[in-house]
Amino acid sequence: MSTLTAAPAASRSRAVTIGLWVLQVLLALMFVVGSGLPKLWGDAYAIQLFAELPGGQVLRYVVGVLEIAGGIGLLVPRVTALAAACLAALMVGATIAQLFFLSVGFWYTPVILGVLLLVVAVVRRHEIRALVAD
């Protein structure tokens, strides 16, 4: 482990570190079990939702794979920040899709998830710098 990844983590309090890991695990579960896998398994709601989007069912598979990869990445310390940042970018796309293409109207869900992911990415931003430096 490089000193870039160890130093900022050491400066955080134990409560913040535990809270951050709890948030990461909950987000990972949501993205893998609650969102990504149903898209790949062909959940009826996911099929219906993506039928309204320009990318259709191919986009459903792509988003499902990205969500599962990002969810797993949230649990891997070396890439947690990068996974959180990428999933936050995915949530920007989900928000745009909700606002402009879908009739469902749950635009606030990806916004809330995106904000939580940005919290993880910002708190762990030193990990992204360490990845780039390596």
- pTM for the model stands at 0.88
Query: 107-124 pLDDT, tens per residue?
Result: 999 999 999 999 999 999
**Domain span at 109:** 3-129
Residue 125 lies in a domain: yes
51 CB neighbour count, 10 Å cutoff: 10
Residue 40 is assigned to a structural domain of this protein:
yes
User: Would you state the pLDDT for residue 2?
Assistant: 42
Overall domain count for the chain: 1
Residue with tokens 């969102």, as numbered in its chain? 35
Q: What is the pLDDT of residue 61?
A: 98
**Would 28 be classed as within a structural domain?**
yes
Q: Name the residue among 87, 89, 71, 81 with its Cα closest to residue 25.
A: 71
Q: Is residue 134 part of a domain?
A: no
Q: pLDDT digits over 17-74, tens only?
A: 999 999 999 999 999 999 999 999 999 999 999 999 999 999 999 999 999 999 999 9
Is pLDDT of 5 > 70? no
- Cα–Cα distance measured from residue 93 to residue 8, given in angstroms and rounded to the nearest whole number: 31
CA 77 to each of CA 9, 20, 125, 126: distance values in angstroms, whole numbers, following the listed order:
11, 12, 12, 11
